Amino acid sequence: MPSPGRRFKSAIYEQFARVAKALASAHRVELVELLAQGPRTVEALSKLADMRLANTSAHLQVLRGAGLVESSKEGLFVTYRLADASVSELLLATRRVAEARLAEVAKVTRQFLADNAQLDGVDAKALRARVRHGEVTLLDVRPPEEFAAGHIPGALSVPLPELASRLSALPKRREVVAYCRGPYCVLAVEAVKLLRARGFKAVRLEDGVLDWAGLGLRVEATGA
C-alpha cells in the first residue's frame, strides 16, 4: 500500500497535470491567447478561432474545469475571461519554452514571414524605444474591444478591416508600426502588406499587449 507521502505526491501532481492537460490542445491555447486580449462571448471566440460553436464551447469547458477561465451569463450570451493574470503569464511561459526548445517554431515563423515578404530584420529593442518616444505612427489593428481592454500607449485603434478606408488620415512621410496580439498573430502582417502596397514605410511590432506588459512597460485601457 502506498505511503501517505506517496499518496500526497500522486494527488498533488495529478492536480498540476490538470492544468497541463487543459493546454494540451492547439485550439485551447489559441482560446487562451484570445481571452488574454479581453473577455469574449462564446460566439465571438468561435468566429475568431474559426471553430464550430459546439467545439468552442467544449474547449472552454475544459479550460474552466482546470480553473484557467471563468464565465458569466447575460441573457442568452455567455462571456468568458481569464481567471487571473497568472494564466497570461502561463501562456507567455509556455510560448518561451516552445521558442527555446522547438526548432519548428522558428522554422514555421520564418517561412510564413518570407511568404509575406516580411523577413526584413527589425531591431526589436530600438523599435520599442521609438514607439515609446512617439517617433512613429503606431497602429493597433485588433478589433476595437480588444483595444479598449488594453493597448500600448500612443496607439491608434485601426482594426484591420477598416485600414484601407482610413489610410488618408495617416501621415505618409512618417513610418507606420502595426501590432496585434503578439508575434504569432497575422493581423499586423496583413496590415504591413497593405501599407507597403499603398506606399507607406511600415514595419510590424512583434510585441502584443501581453508581451509589452511582460517587459514591464505600461499598458492603457479605455473601456471595460
Q: How would residue 2 be classed by pLDDT, with cut points 50, 70 and 90?
A: confident
Q: What is the pLDDT of residue 121?
A: 67
Per-residue pLDDT tens for 120-163?
Answer: 767 889 999 999 999 999 999 999 999 999 999 999 999 999 99
Superfamily designation of domain 110-214? Rhodanese-like domain (3.40.250.10)
Long-range contacts of 219-224 (CB under 8 A, 24+ apart): 219/150, 219/151, 219/152, 219/153, 220/150, 220/151, 220/152, 220/153, 221/148, 221/149, 221/150, 221/151, 222/147, 222/148, 222/151, 223/145, 223/148, 223/149, 224/148, 224/149
- CATH class (in words) of the domain with range 4-87: mainly alpha
Identify whether 185 is a catalytic site residue.
Answer: no
Which residue spans of the chain are classified as CATH 1.10.10.10?
4-87
pLDDT above 70 (res 224): no
Euclidean distance between CA atoms 103 and 224, whole angstroms: 39
Which residue spans of the chain are classified as CATH 3.40.250.10?
110-214
Q: How would residue 118 be classed by pLDDT, with cut points 50, 70 and 90?
A: confident
Q: How do strand 77-82 and strand 69-74 relate by DSSP bridges?
A: antiparallel
pLDDT above 70 (res 166): yes
Set 180, 192, 195, 205: catalytic member: 180
| Mean pLDDT across 81-100 | 96
| Mean pLDDT across 24-46 | 97
Q: What is the pLDDT of residue 223?
A: 65
